[in-house]
Amino acid sequence: MLADTIVALGVNHKTAPVAIREKLAFSGDCKIPLQKLEKIPGCEEFCFLSTCNRVEVFFVAKQREESIKNVLDFLFTKSGLTSKESKEYSYIHQGTEAITHLFRVASSLDSMIVGEPQILGQLKDAYRDAAEFKSTGVIINRLMNKAFSVAKRIRSETNIGSSAVSISFAAVQLAKKIFGNLNGKRVMLVGAGEMAELAAEHLVTQGISRVVVANRTIERAMKLARRFKGTAVALDELVPQLEHVDIMISSTGSPDMILSRGQVKPIMRKRRNSPLFLIDIAVPRDLDPKLNGLDNVYLYDIDDLTHVVEINKAERDKEAMVAERIVKEETLKFQQWLENMEISPTIVAIRKKAEEVREKELAKTLSSLNGLSTKDKKSIEMLATSLVNKLLHNPIVFLKAECAPEDKEQKLDLTRKLFGLDSGQSAEDRMSSE
């Protein structure tokens, strides 16, 4: 069956730690891995995906066992891992499982953060590279485009991507509730914690116009500021900078609070009470809880954000269940398309054989009838065509009817035998010998 020729083979955040995934990292020219895959015997169509959380090859191969071994060798060739370790850290999905896996990847159901949108763009880029390299064919082309439409359907029919399920993203969602639109807003990062960096990344994608980094070590502040095309300031400049920013994210390692209510109150007068959003993701806390008592100052700490995340995780899990159902539905639809692909050559062969017989018998009949008008000949031709179509109708409906994969194979085999499609003898030769 055609479905059985589809394979998804790879490594991701579920099967291997980052130390292993790093060994498989592919960087530089995207054509290099495609060129290597092209040399693998039996790899008829393929697409290569490489991100920080996964390295995968989606391919079509009739001799699957040999191709799987070679693709596995390709992925781990420079890793220094043994063959046993390679199998331990990788996964292989074949047939229906491979189709379902790709649809789940495209829809971010297989992502570290379920619902994140980046993976779909990465998969589209991988497919574009493969298509330009001409390593895709009818099956991979259809499979990838179907994966994109499945992801789009899940985005439109569920709310899987609307809830924040990471601390950094939760901070951004809260900022949007306060300001509505983040275009043109200014943010200050205090400290250089990883969660603050991630929050800043999310904010930048939402249209933040300016990033200021304040840190005890000015070199570290400058390095981080360059990443966001912002400016670096000393930690001593924290308070006066508050006059010019809308959002502050603090994640220092200070044992004491670095900002008090008394320091911010006069700043709010200078700001004419324009909203100030403070995010404290430091443990112990950087910011005075009493800041929340000031008008138009909105302070959230790590516990507030964690609470938002937990609520949203429960909501997203419900949406994920709906998304999984959609994946199952679309997998069945794709399998039906593959089955029709298998049936088509047999239907074409039946029609071709019937047409050969019709033309042969029509020619014999017309040559034996003298004095027929053009109209009479046309009527006889139409009669012959109609008889052929009516006789073929039920066998073709029988072939197209839904059934189990093993029954489909039996039906195809039986039909080809009944119509003598694999005998190697032409219709004309058979009629001559009868």
What amino acid is encoded at 345 in this protein?
A: P
Q: Residue 251: phi, psi to the nearest 5?
A: -150, 55
- Residues 260-288 have a mean pLDDT of 91
H-assigned helices in 107-209 = 118-133, 138-157, 167-179, 194-205
Instruction: For residues 306-323, give the mean pLDDT.
Output: 82
Mean pLDDT in residue range 25-47: 88
* Model pLDDT, residue 406: 65
Q: Mean per-residue pLDDT for 384-389?
A: 91
Determine how β-strand 210-215 pairs with β-strand 231-234: parallel
Does the domain made of 2-157 have the CATH classification 3.40.50.150? no
Residue 227, pLDDT > 70, answer yes
For residue 167, how far is the Cα from the chain centroid? 23
Taking the complete model, does pTM exceed 0.75, yes or no?
Answer: no
Burial of 410 (0-12, 13-18, 19+ CB in 10 A): exposed
Which carries the bigger pLDDT value, residue 346 or residue 10?
Answer: 10
**What value does the mean pLDDT take over residues 58-78?**
92
Average pLDDT over residues 219-231: 88
Predicted confidence (pLDDT) at residue 108 exceeds the cutoff of 70:
yes
Q: What is the pLDDT of residue 145?
A: 96
Instruction: Select the highest-mean-pLDDT range: 122-136, 192-206, 406-420.
Output: 122-136
- Model confidence at 79, in pLDDT bands (50, 70, 90)? confident
Q: Which of 30, 43, 47, 52 is catalytic?
A: 52
Beta strands (DSSP E) in 15-173 are 45-50, 54-60, 91-94
Tell me where in the chain the CATH 3.30.460.30 domain(s) lie.
2-157
| 47 closest CA partner among 123, 150, 101 | 123
Q: pLDDT at residue 374 above 80?
A: yes
| Whether residue 52 lies in the annotated active site | yes
What is the structure's pLDDT at 432?
46
Token output for 5: 């020729």
Give the mean pLDDT of 280-287: 86
Q: Say if residue 416's pLDDT is above 60.
A: yes
Is the pLDDT confidence value at 196 over 80?
no
Tell me the average pLDDT across 320-341: 91
Superfamily grouping for domain 167-304: NAD(P)-binding Rossmann-like Domain (3.40.50.720)
d(CA 128, CA 136) in angstroms, rounded, equals 10
> If DSSP codes are grouped into helix, strand and coil, which group holds residue 190?
strand
Q: Is 416 buried (19+), middle (13-18) or exposed (0-12) by CB count in 10 A?
A: middle
Q: Provide the pLDDT for residue 428.
A: 47
How far is CA 393 from its chain centroid? 40
Which of 129, 97, 128, 80 has its CA nearest to residue 10? 97
* Residue 6 three-state SS: strand
| Residue bearing the bigger pLDDT, 25 or 284 | 284
Q: Is the dihedral of CA 2, 122, 88, 71 positive or negative?
A: positive
Range list for CATH 3.40.50.720 in the chain:
167-304
Which residue from 124, 123, 121, 58 is spatially nearest to 91, judged by alpha carbons?
A: 58
Return the SS3 of 233.
strand
At 424 the pLDDT is: 54
Q: What percent of the chain has pLDDT over 90?
A: 47
| Model pLDDT, residue 433 | 44
* Average confidence score pLDDT of the chain: 87
Lowest mean pLDDT among 163-177, 279-293, 311-325, 406-420: 163-177
Residue 405 pLDDT class (50, 70, 90 cuts): low
pLDDT at 224 over 90: no
User: Please, which residues have CB within 8 angstroms of residue 132's CB and are 6 or more apart in sequence?
Assistant: none
Contact present, 35 and 21 (Cβ < 8 Å): no
Does the pLDDT of residue 70 top 80, yes or no? yes
What is residue 318's predicted lDDT score, i.e. its pLDDT? 87
What pLDDT score does 122 carry?
92
Rounded Cα gap, residues 94 and 80, in angstroms: 26
Residue 109 has pLDDT above 90, yes or no: yes
User: In this predicted structure, what is the pLDDT of residue 430?
Assistant: 45
For residue range 259-271, list pLDDT tens digits in order. Answer: 999 999 999 999 9
Residue pointed to by tokens 């009817």: 401
Can you give the pLDDT at residue 242?
A: 95
Looking at residue 383, what is its pLDDT? 92
Instruction: Report the pLDDT value the prediction gives residue 193, as an integer from 0 to 100.
Output: 64
More confident residue, 253 or 232: 232
